[in-house]
A and B are shown apart, each in its own frame.
Chain A
Amino acid sequence: QKEVEQNSGPLSVPEGAIASLNCTYSDRVSQSFFWYRQYSGKSPELIMSIYSNGDKEDGRFTAQLNKASQYVSLLIRDSQPSDSATYLCAVRAGSGGYQKVTFGTGTKLQVIP
């Protein structure tokens, strides 16, 4: 069973702080990694993708991947109340677009004004 594990939270951070969200995965052949944001009652919204080891930055978001440790993380700098949502880590086993993406249960982030 291929698993994607996340701490369910809630993770509470004050406004302006850095939020750090973590994810581990069990399938060593995983190739593609995604972070989605999901507001309550809404659909997952893609915010970051990362495919190779290291860091990838996009605005206030930085994704970090360590394939040797089977670990992927998301940093949100200057957290805003509007960032309060559930963050889903998602993993695809291979490079083919047809292959399914496996989601973690999500980490609920609360940004306190």
Chain B
Amino acid sequence: EPEVTQTPSHQVTQMGQEVILRCVPISNHLYFYWYRQILGQKVEFLVSFYNNEISEKSEIFDDQFSVERPDGSNFTLKIRSTKLEDSAMYFCASSLGRGDSTEAFFGQGTRLTVV
């Protein structure tokens, strides 16, 4: 069964360093998303991406964050200068996005720990 895959599963980084989280969405899906979940809190929307551009972003997604689809399969989230409060589980998701097929399927997540 097709699935969203994310790498790495766990990333530890020092405060102020740049990190890139990687995702391979389901191959025929058109819409891509990043969400995050701080430990014990709810899943929060960061950004959606369609047709090689950001279609929507939340107030969390400030200038420190960027997304890119560098080739036909990968979708990345870059955090330029990490802060302690960026520590969270980051989930990539994708959806087909046509008609009623708007269900988003999530990858297994990357646990980011900023020290």
Contacts and interface: CB of A to CB of B under 8 A. Distances in A.
Q: Which of B30, B43, B50, B109 has the most CB of A within 10 A?
A: B43
B106 interface: yes
B103 interface: yes
Range, interface on chain A: 20 to 34
Nearest to A32: B102
Nearest to B100: A51
B87 interface: no
Given A43-B109, A97-B98, A101-B104, A106 B50 contact: no
Contacts of A27: none
B103 A49 contact: yes
Contact of A102 (B30, B45, B97): B45
A95 B103 CA distance: 11
Contact of B48 (A34, A45, A46, A100): A100
Given A32-B102, A44-B91, A101 B45 contact: yes
A73 B93 CA distance: 23
B18 interface: no
Contact of A46 (B30, B41, B97, B103): B103
Given A43-B107, A88-B43, A103-B42, A98 B56 contact: yes
Interface string A28-70: 0000101010000011111001010000000000000000000
Interface of A: 32, 34, 36, 42-46, 49, 51, 88, 90, 92, 95-106
Closest 10 pairs (CB-CB, A-B): A97-B97, A98-B55, A100-B45, A103-B43, A97-B31, A43-B106, A105-B42, A98-B50, A43-B109, A98-B48
